[in-house]
Amino acid sequence: MRVRLVLAAVLVSAMAVAAGCGSSSSSGNGGSGSNGSSGPSLPQSIGPLEGSLNLIAWQGYTEDNVVKPFEKQTGCQVNVKYGQTSDEMYKLMQSGNYDGVSASGDASNRLIASGLVSAINTNLISDFGDISPQLQSPPHNTINGVHYGVSYQWGANILMYNKTVVSPAPDSWGVIFDGTSYKGKVDAYDSPIYIADAALYLKSAQPDLKITDPYELTQPQFDAAVNLLKKQHQQIGNYWSSFTAQIQDFTQGSIVIGPTWPYQLNTLKAAKVPVEAVLPKEGATGWADTWMEYSKAAHPNCMLKWMDYATTPEVQAKTAYTFGSAPANPKACAILDKQVKNYCADYHVTDPNYFDHISFWKTPLSECGDSRGNTCVPYTEWFQAWTDIKNS
């Protein structure tokens, strides 16, 4: 099935921006405030606050314990519209009614490419230097050294299984992609971006496909991933999109194996459900969210102040705890570990090698970002393939 692409616009213009944007994210570039000498001129200070701030956020990112102190400190009254999906957030940003958004990697590149978000002078973010190096300038929010936002929270999509049912303990994604032992009791993440998980597996399982980056797939590579998912569809019990639902499914035994986030794992373990999780040998995909400012924001100074505030250890810790995520600023660990034993160790916040195994979500563009040029499958086609997969 075809989607005609409104996004095509975005993707065409994206090529210009994305040219030169390499695929390797793990090394980072230190991110020491390269505030884009080549980019647009950026504000050098935060101007008078406007008294109001309209945000689009994931539910859990703007709880009262975070918002109320901010309102008190700055006088910026915060209004929040919750986004249900990355795609909805993108659409809400197009409406022009909001100052900023907590964008995931599968939305952030689109937002940058379509000029909906503005470059940020990271010198105005006091704790920017404390953010994990890999998240200071990741490819999903930093293009050519220009920062389009500050990282907030992240998580990895690891493989969780029920110990009493799944045996032997898996060490590869193959058990849910190629296996048939748990038919009807396997789950998968319900989003086109999940195609990248299949691609990541194929990268190791079928080296002859020569997959280099699970978000930069040529047509044959993409087709192989889609076919794998169509085959997997026969095994699937549930495609989950809310983590509360997944927690319920594992508790009830309706699902025994599938990709998850550390939060579900820890909650289930705390509830004495016999689950365990691994970072499979192929590595894993992951999500990382970025606060981004609308390019024509009505309240830009309140938004900058918000990004500054959101990076502080206290706020990072509060949100990580509520949302069940890893904070982008490891300084939050001092607070988190006091609240929950081993929080940061469980979420691998302080393990620099962990990032090497995670391919963070980013928007697939037709420009591959390497010598292959303009031959990759763009997100719009990922989208239509997803409908076909689910009804195959």
Partner 1 sequence: MEPRPVRIGLRIFSLGVMAFLYIPLAVIVMASFNASRIPTWPIKDYTLHWWSLAMHDQHARTALENSFKVGLAATAVALVLGSAAAFALSRFRFFGKNSLSLLLVLPIALPGIVTGLSLLSAIEYLSLTPSLVTVAIGHSTFCIVVVFNNAVARLRRSSSSFEEASMDLGADGWQTFRFITLPNLATALVAGGLLAFALSFDEIVVTNFTAGAQQTLPLWIYNQFRLPNTAQEVNAVAVFVIALTAVPVYLAQRLMRESGGIGGRG
Partner 2 sequence: MSTPTASAPFGARRRLSAFFYRHRWLKLLALLIPPLSWIVVVYLAALVVLLATAFWQQDELSGQIIHTFTWDNVRTVKDDPTLHAVTRQTVQMAVLVTITDILLAFPLAYYMARVASRGVRALLFVGVLMPLWSSYLIKAYTWRLMTGDAGTINWALAKIGLGPLHIAFTTTAMWLAFTYIWLPYMVLPIYAALERIPGSLIEASSDLGGRSWRTLRSVIMPLALPGIAAGSIFTFSLTLGDYIMVDLVGGNKTDFLGSVIFRYQGIANDLPLAAAIALVPVIVITIYLLLVRQLGAFEAL
In the complex, the residues that contact partner 1 under the rule CB under 8 A are 54, 59-60, 79-82, 242-245, 247-248, 251-252, 263, 267-268, 271, 322, 324
**Measured distance CA(298)–CA(107) in Å, rounded:** 21
Kindly tell me which residue out of 230, 231, 331, 390 binds partner 2, with binding defined by CB under 8 A.
390
Q: Is 91 in the site for partner 2 (CB under 8 A)?
A: yes
Kindly tell me which residue out of 15, 174, 239, 312 binds partner 2, with binding defined by CB under 8 A.
239
Q: Is 345 in the site for partner 2 (CB under 8 A)?
A: no
User: From partner 2, partner 1, none, which one binds at residue 263 (CB under 5 to 8 Å depending on kind)?
Assistant: partner 1
Main-chain phi, psi angles of 284, to 5 degrees = -150, 160
Kindly tell me which residue out of 180, 248, 342, 375 binds partner 2, with binding defined by CB under 8 A.
248
Q: Name the DSSP class of 199.
A: H
**Measured distance CA(324)–CA(383) in Å, rounded:** 27
Shortest distance (Å) from residue 113 CB to partner 2: 13
Question: Among residues 92 and 279, whose Cβ is nearest to partner 1?
Answer: 92
Shortest distance (Å) from residue 3 CB to partner 2: 5
Main-chain phi, psi angles of 291, to 5 degrees = -80, 125
Residues of this chain, 186-225, that bind partner 2 according to CB under 8 A: 190
Shortest distance (Å) from residue 110 CB to partner 2: 11
Q: Is 35 in the site for partner 2 (CB under 8 A)?
A: no
Shortest distance (Å) from residue 194 CB to partner 2: 12
Pairs from 9-13 (Cβ < 8 Å, separation ≥ 24) = 9/114, 10/110, 10/113, 10/114, 11/113, 11/365, 11/366, 11/378, 11/379, 11/380, 13/113, 13/114, 13/115
Shortest distance (Å) from residue 82 CB to partner 2: 14
Of 203, 268, 202, 253, nearest to 229 (Cα)? 202
Question: Among residues 245 and 278, whose Cβ is nearest to partner 1?
Answer: 245
Concatenated DSSP letters of 56-115: EE-TTSS-HHHHHHHHHHH--EEEEEE-SSHHHHHHHHHTT--SEEEEEHHHHHHHHHTT
Q: Name the DSSP class of 356.
A: G
Q: Which residues bind partner 2 (CB under 8 A)?
A: 1-9, 12, 85, 87-88, 90-91, 94, 184-185, 190, 233, 236-241, 245, 248-249, 251-254, 380, 383-384, 387-388, 390-391
